[in-house]
Amino acid sequence: MKKRILGNQLEVNEIGLGCMGLSMSFPPFPSKEEGITFLRQAHEQGVNFFDTAEIYGPFENEKLVGEAFKDIRSEVIIATKFGFKYEDNKVVGLDSSRENILRALEGSLARLQTSYIDLFYQHRVDPQTPIEEVAMVMKELIAAGKIKYWGLSEASAATIRRAHKICPVTAVQSEYSMFWREPETKIFPTLKELKIGFVPFSPLGKGFLTGSVKPGQIFGEGDFRNTIPRFNNPEYLAANMKLVEFVKDLAIQKQTTPAAIAIGWVLAQGEWIVPIPGTKKLSRLVENLSASEVNFSASEITMINQKLNEIQIIGHRYSDQSESQIDK
């Protein structure tokens, strides 16, 4: 697989793997053994960039990743995240205080069975803790060799700038796809200027852009799409299907799949972008990775983006509670 560089420093293969779905948000979940086997298969397919987080589970996802790669640690790039506080293994709020960061770090190191974390993200911006204080802790952890690089998730352009002044940010992770293009307006110019990498999650629009979601679909118990207006409102879901039809048409023209088109389009937006689509199935993983072979000419990208501008997407991408945690 071709490589890309995040933040002028961190080299990774150009498509990573979002591991959340192995233990959170998209049931049914594989057994521990199945999850470990899948992660090793992903590595064998050329993936070397794996994205996990303390909150996924909570805690269980990091254990899977740690067990899968403990004997080939130097061959993989592991990203994980901090920023929540817990009571009885349940999230009770945001907390990026120094004390909680250090607690999270030591827990992640233990679960990942490693002495260092390649990329340590603040999962959500904590309004109670100045980002400058968070950046100072990251600078200390880098100096101590506990982490190699750090990043932010779902942070505003202003927050990114403030953090970067204290300790250079390597990557910003946010949702981005044909289904959600908001980062293009303020985040992209900031990242380009500061030479920070971008790691989009949900490049397939939480499965929407694959064409597997149908109008009027009822999602299973525990599927977090049940909380999202774009999915749980039948009117919104039906109206947004015109985007799926467009992606399907592109796939026919390019003789590939809608998933490959969606991820290939994300890759085409910049060499500093490394998407991390999530899946639990080897066949889907192989399909996602085939996006590396999808090429768009400059005129094709212009045409696609013009069409995307014409397609009006309706409905919020998160529940009201989750929206309240987004730094704006």
Q: What is the pLDDT of residues 81-139, one digit of tens each?
A: 999 999 999 999 999 999 999 999 999 999 999 999 999 999 999 999 999 999 999 99
pLDDT (mean) for 195-200: 98
**Residue ranges of domains in the chain, CATH in brackets:** 3-205+263-296 (3.20.20.100)
Residue that has been written with the tokens 């908001």 in this structure: 182
Q: What is the pLDDT of residues 213-260, one digit of tens each?
A: 999 999 999 999 999 999 999 999 999 999 999 999 999 999 999 999
Confidence (pTM): 0.97
Q: Quick check: bond before 229 cis, omega within 30? A: no
So what's the pLDDT on residue 325?
Answer: 84
Q: What is the pLDDT of residues 273-287, one digit of tens each?
A: 999 999 999 999 999
C-alpha span between 327 and 297 (Å, rounded): 35
So what's the pLDDT on residue 55?
Answer: 98
Token representation of residue 191? 């990242």
So what's the pLDDT on residue 292?
Answer: 98
pLDDT (mean) for 132-156: 98
Neighbouring C-beta atoms of residue 37, cutoff 10 Å: 14
Which residues are catalytically annotated?
56
**Is residue 177 over pLDDT 90?**
yes
**Is residue 319 over pLDDT 90?**
no
Largest CA distance in the chain: 54
C-alpha span between 41 and 253 (Å, rounded): 30
**Is residue 323 over pLDDT 90?**
no
pLDDT band for position 199 (cuts 50, 70, 90): very high
So what's the pLDDT on residue 320?
Answer: 81
Average pLDDT, the chain: 97
